[in-house]
Structure 1
Amino acid sequence: NSYYSDFNLEDEQSWQVSYELDFGGYGIPGLTYKFAYVRGTDIVAGGENDGTERELFNQFKYVVQDGPAKDLSFKLRNSIYRADNQVGPDLNEVRAFIEYPISIL
């Protein structure tokens, strides 16, 4: 699975290349960056076996390291999705996430 698409359409063959960077080694603990490119080919769509889809994904995430907000995280994600017309619509999106784990036990 990817970030927008599942890349599991009929007969689809997919591959992914990604890169992750932890800024802790540069003096900013809790900050990470992730980049990924995913491509799917040979999709059966409308009777054809040559449909394609691809996605480019960028994400920054920061996790608070200590204090009362420890483990609170902020994430900013950008996805650019392109597909043949018979596979799906082209999409661009930016998402912002705020997550805070709560222990109930």
Structure 2
Amino acid sequence: MIMTAYKALSTEKMGLNITPGTIFKMKIEGIDIPIKIQASLVGMVKNEYILITHPTPFATTKPKLYAGNGIIAQYQDGSDICVFGVKIMDAIMKPIRVVVLEYPDKIIRRKIRPET
């Protein structure tokens, strides 16, 4: 696959069009080893916050999930790859493990096109 030019879009009016269960590939500030970090979307409130499952692997990510730490999240939306960067608002461990993220101001969308 080849990535084409990207567009930075404001989320203020249109919001994010992501369904619960969508898988995010993530980079978490302070984790510099090349590991695959993933989490799933639980839900969101437009222009307020995004709720995700605790990223895996748990032992590696848990120490870096604190308020103010940065996350870059990437997910696929049809034929687009979408990326946004936000800060962690909180990490909740009980009664369930979820992470509360800021709602992004902007999202970058790139079309994926098959190699020719």
Larger Rg: 1
TM above 0.5, one fold?
no
Question: Highest relative contact order (Cα 8 Å, sep 6+), 1 or 2?
Answer: 2
Q: Normalising TM by the smaller chain, what interval? A: under 0.3
